[in-house]
Amino acid sequence: MREKLFEVKDLCKSFSRPGKKAVRAVDGVSFDIYQGETLGIVGESGCGKTTCGRTVIGLYAKTSGLVRYRGADIHTMGKKDYFAYTKKVQTVFQDPYTSLDPRMKVSDLVAEGIDIHHLASSRRERLERVYELLELVGLQPEHAERYIHEFSGGQRQRICIARALAVDPEFLLCDEAISALDVSIQAQIVNLLMKLQRQKHLTYMFIAHDLTMVRYLSDRVAVMYLGKIVELGETDALYQGPLHPYTQILIAAVPIADPAAEAERQKMLPKGEARADEVPANGCRFYARCPYACPHCAGEPPQLREAAPGHWVACHRTEEIGGMRA
């Protein structure tokens, strides 16, 4: 049996808007994250994946639902327990240009967690720990005395990773951690994350819109659409035989390196655009854009169900549509 690190049940997160209806960015999502795995979260911009990740780890207060970390409800923890929890759960944010203070030297940025949690008994021990962390992420000790403006985007993200690892966590939320980087640098950072996961037995929640990178890094993938998880399963099973029409459309949009095969592929395009402020009161949220929609889809919201062992989908017509082969 795999050890369960996070347990998420019916999690909701809403944002109020003056004079308008509140937007429910995350609406009743449920999933588990197991120790040592990478759970990828994918979906187009505005689907709620970043809000979901930040609410799961406690950066955002939940509206309703339950999040347990090793059996403890993170949203009701006492101050002492939550302080200990923040040492075990860290975040690597999307933009290294804005998540690092330009007025601080790299040594102080990396050592923030060390200082907060009192993990070094002397200035020398603190500095040696910073050097170790910089070398761990592929930088040099001499970089410790420089400022952020002296580094490239990829180097800045390595510094962000070093800062997250400074407190020896067991879980990292990687919130679009590669999307602000050049494609060649993205591969370097993903390979670094995989190497660190093996070395330090880390668990990741990897949020991204790049399906290729998610497939390369993740053990399981959850697909989100307008605040709901519409499909969840083992990576290979989901990519080779997606069951939800939205997942099929996302995967069909990923280019193939072979021009001839790419030209022969059947294109699947959704109708219209996803609008978080136009979520239907009843029925499937993908109904208005789905090429397979029927009257039943408009009247009753589909529930996430296990269509195959370990493969969950929220669609009324899964058996009729069948899985698309990638």
CA 227 from chain centre, in angstroms, equals 14
Residues 142, 280, single domain; the answer is no
Residues 90, 188, single domain; the answer is yes
- The secondary structure of residue 276, as a DSSP letter, is G
Calpha distance 226→47 (Å, rounded): 4
Give the end of a domain, one of 192, 218, 244: 218
Domain for residue 290, yes or no? yes
Please report the pLDDT score of residue 274 as a whole number: 58
Q: Are 15 and 25 in contact (CB under 8 A)?
A: yes
Residues 80, 148, single domain; the answer is yes
Q: Which tokens sit at 107?
A: 């040594």
Helix, strand, coil content of the chain in percent (nearest 5): 40, 25, 40
Please report the pLDDT score of residue 258 as a whole number: 62
Residue (of 272, 276, 320) closest to 297 by Cα position: 320
Domain for residue 226, yes or no? no
Calpha distance 317→283 (Å, rounded): 13
Label residue 68 exposed, middle or buried (CB < 10 Å: 0-12, 13-18, 19+). Answer: middle
Q: Which tokens sit at 148?
A: 């952020």
Q: Which tokens sit at 65?
A: 């639902």
Give the end of a domain, one of 154, 185, 218: 218
Q: Domain count of the chain? A: 2
Residue 53's Cβ-side half-sphere holds a number of Cα atoms within 13 Å equal to 29
Domain for residue 223, yes or no? no
Residues 41, 99, single domain; the answer is yes
Residues 198, 242, single domain; the answer is no
Please report the pLDDT score of residue 299 as a whole number: 84
Domain that holds residue 84: 4-218
Calpha distance 154→189 (Å, rounded): 7
Please report the pLDDT score of residue 326 as a whole number: 45
Domain for residue 62, yes or no? yes
Residues 204, 296, single domain; the answer is no
Calpha distance 229→17 (Å, rounded): 24
Domain for residue 227, yes or no? no
Regions of the chain short of the pLDDT cut 70: 257-281, 322-326
Give the end of a domain, one of 218, 251, 271: 218
CA 156 from chain centre, in angstroms, equals 20
Domain for residue 131, yes or no? yes
Q: Which tokens sit at 310?
A: 């370990």
pLDDT digits (tens, 9 = 90+) for 173-211: 999 988 878 888 888 999 999 999 999 999 999 999 889
Three-class DSSP category at 317: coil
Domain for residue 230, yes or no? no
Residues 162, 17, single domain; the answer is yes
What's the pTM?
0.91
Residues 188, 261, single domain; the answer is no
Please report the pLDDT score of residue 272 as a whole number: 58
- Supply the CATH number for residue 210's domain: 3.40.50.300
Residues 30, 133, single domain; the answer is yes
Q: Which tokens sit at 59?
A: 């950066």
Residues 97, 144, single domain; the answer is yes
Please report the pLDDT score of residue 116 as a whole number: 96
CA dihedral 184, 223, 200, 79 (to 10 degrees): 120
Residues 10, 132, single domain; the answer is yes
Domain for residue 228, yes or no? no
- The secondary structure of residue 105, as a DSSP letter, is B
Please report the pLDDT score of residue 325 as a whole number: 47
Residues 240, 205, single domain; the answer is no
Amino acid at 322: G
